[in-house]
Copies of this chain bind each other. A is one copy, B any other.
Amino acid sequence: MIIIFNSEVEPEGADVQRVLDYVRDVPGVSAKVHAVRGASRSLVEIYLIGRTDTVSDAALERMSGVERVVRVSEKYRIIGRHRGQMDVPGFEYNGVRFDQDALHVFAGLCAVDSRESVEAMMRALKESGRVTTRMGAYKPRTSPYDFQGHGKSCLPYVFELAGKYGIRVIAMEVVHESQVGEIRDALAAAGSPTGVMLQIGTRNAQNFELLKQVGQQREFPVLFKRGMGITLEESLNACEYIASEGNRNIVFCLRGVKSHLGEPHRNFVDFAHVPVVKRLTRLPVCIDPSHSVGRKDLSPDGLLEIEHVTAQAVIAGANMVLVDFHPAPEKAMCDGPQALQLSELPGFLEDVRIVREAYEKRREARGNVVGAKKA
């Protein structure tokens, strides 16, 4: 159950307090206050959890400052779309806006292997006018005997070079809560030249303790990757763990699921779920074409299959693309076969541009002007 206040109500104000006092007496119900900052306005919401069937909507709606009361289904209470809520807000991080209208390409290294690779990658991004990238320091690997990433030792030069080349947001996987602190410390030591989006990998999609930890901090936004063997609903429920701890700056990432029916691709590409996630939740949707396809096959029409599945996501409204590049894919320490070369970056970006333009035309033709919602 969500109680939405008028836009002039303050989180610490008397109206909010009065509602909190009121529901405190209801047995089996607990309350959390959330301040939502949209593009044009901000507002306060109170989430009631528990046996809310005994709470009266009418009584609450009569209380001072309350604009509307929304009953939500059991699932996706915070990340879900519920009738009557404010327009999808999104968030801004380090100067970059993430919402269901935006589109950002995060091209970068699956695994950081050397300072040289990082610098080559970032230089290429700057030349292409990009301010976002992916950089893997902590790598969860199927076998304990595989390369596990350079960990915190590479953070100083990754952040330094990001600052040098104007990168504002780096998507970086964490596999343990302690790494959030390592990243925070390394960023501070480097003078905060860039920002980090904490990535939760598919193997940790139901590692609820880790989800709670990244949910409790608000400094870094979180990129949540769908679990590879669970349904979309189960993944959204897991993602809700992050939001339920307080952090709502979340991007939901599709990356293919495990099934032999998806062969010859490495995973079964699930980008038909892009519009589904946008319909069920208020989260921006990212896709990872590299881990989905897992191979660098070329179509007879001259486009890579990785580019085709990227186009499939963008034409359906994806908001973020996480894609592997490497200066020398054959030497990459992890997932080399799926990495594109730096020389392929301009073509990749131009392809995304063409498709995004078509997506905007599709929306216009349907009378849904891009950007109009924000005004």
Chain A stretch 299-337: residues in CB contact (< 8 A) with chain B: 299-303, 305, 308-309, 311-313, 315-317
A206 CB contacts on chain B under 8 angstroms: 140, 142, 203-204
Number of copies: 4
A240 CB contacts on chain B under 8 angstroms: 143-144
A258 CB contacts on chain B under 8 angstroms: 229-230, 260
Are B366's CB and A303's CB within 8 A? yes
Q: Does A49 contact B (CB under 8 A)?
A: yes
A355 CB contacts on chain B under 8 angstroms: 315, 358, 362
A298 CB contacts on chain B under 8 angstroms: 279
Are B309's CB and A315's CB within 8 A? no
Q: Does A9 contact B (CB under 8 A)?
A: no
Interface string of A264-277 (1 = CB under 8 A from B): 11001111111110
Are A278's CB and B303's CB within 8 A? no
Total residues of chain A contacting the partner, CB 8 A: 87
Are B208's CB and A231's CB within 8 A? no
Are A301's CB and B363's CB within 8 A? yes
Are A354's CB and B358's CB within 8 A? yes
A315 CA to B272 CA, complexed, in Å? 13
Are B261's CB and A257's CB within 8 A? yes
Name which residue of chain B comes closest to A175, CB basis.
B209
A260 CB contacts on chain B under 8 angstroms: 231, 258-260
Q: Does A219 contact B (CB under 8 A)?
A: no
A301 CA to B373 CA, complexed, in Å? 10
A231 CB contacts on chain B under 8 angstroms: 260-261, 263
Interface string of A243-267 (1 = CB under 8 A from B): 0100000000000011111111100
Q: Does A347 contact B (CB under 8 A)?
A: yes
Q: Does A12 contact B (CB under 8 A)?
A: no
Are A241's CB and B144's CB within 8 A? yes
A88 CA to B278 CA, complexed, in Å? 39
Q: Which of B209, B232, B315 contacts A358 (CB 8 A)?
A: B315
Listed by A's residue number, 24 A-B pairs whose Cβ atoms lie within 8 Å are A144-B244, A175-B207, A175-B208, A227-B229, A228-B230, A229-B261, A258-B260, A259-B268, A269-B272, A271-B312, A272-B292, A274-B308, A275-B299, A275-B308, A276-B297, A278-B301, A279-B297, A279-B305, A308-B315, A308-B316, A311-B315, A347-B366, A355-B358, A355-B362
Which 7 pairs across A and B sit closest by C-beta, in order of nearness? A229-B229, A358-B358, A269-B272, A203-B206, A312-B312, A260-B260, A302-B366
